[in-house]
Amino acid sequence: MDLQISSLMNNITTKVDSYKSKLLSSDTLDFSNYLKDNFDEIDKDKNGLLGKDEITDSASKNSNPEIQKILDNKNIESIISNIDKNSDDMISKKEADPNSNLGNILKSTYNEFKDLGSNTANLGLAAQSLTQKLCQNYYANANMTKLAASAVSYLL
């Protein structure tokens, strides 16, 4: 029996990893980590923001194979727009580090829950909202965000 459960769990884990790699924008997450780790070095004009030219110039000189793969796939503009949450064509340190916004997301969700009281339907909507915010914050694509919100709805 334990062997069957172990086999089933391995199968589920493999399928989840497969779906995750298809749905999550891993290039965006990898690239945001690159920007976060090298922000001050990339920010040539020291204005606290990374422009597209600073980013592409730095990335083209980088020897990291993951970064080069992103450049080779020519999807850098799409990735930059995914990271640029306020659409000002500049990337701030906060935008490059999705973890830096986590506290604000949780705080706003806490306030939503507090304001809604004990109405279960409203709490479900707040949980879906939290799921969507977290997915967007961690660069999940639209399909992943929709799937995660559906999963939360199902669980509630």
Residue ranges per domain, the chain? 21-96, 101-155
Task: Please tell me the pTM assigned to this model.
Answer: 0.63
Q: Which helix (H) or strand (E) holds 40?
A: helix 39-42
State pLDDT tens for residues 115-145.
766 666 667 777 778 888 887 777 777 777 7
Mark residue 74 as left, alpha or beta (left: phi above 0; alpha: psi -120 to 50; beta: remaining). left
Position 114 scores a pLDDT of: 73
pLDDT attached to residue 49 = 94
CA–centroid distance for 117 within its chain: 30
Residue 90 sits at φ, ψ, to 5 deg, of: -135, 150
Domain 21-96 sits in CATH at: 1.10.238
The tokens describing 108, both together, are 């706003």
Residues 6+ apart with CB under 8 A from 2: none
pLDDT (tens, 9 = 90+) of the chain, 156 residues, equals 456 556 655 665 565 555 555 555 667 778 888 899 999 999 999 999 999 889 888 888 877 777 777 776 667 778 888 888 888 989 999 888 888 887 788 788 777 777 766 666 667 777 778 888 887 777 777 777 777 777 777 666
**Number of residues assigned to the chain:** 156
pLDDT at 48: 94
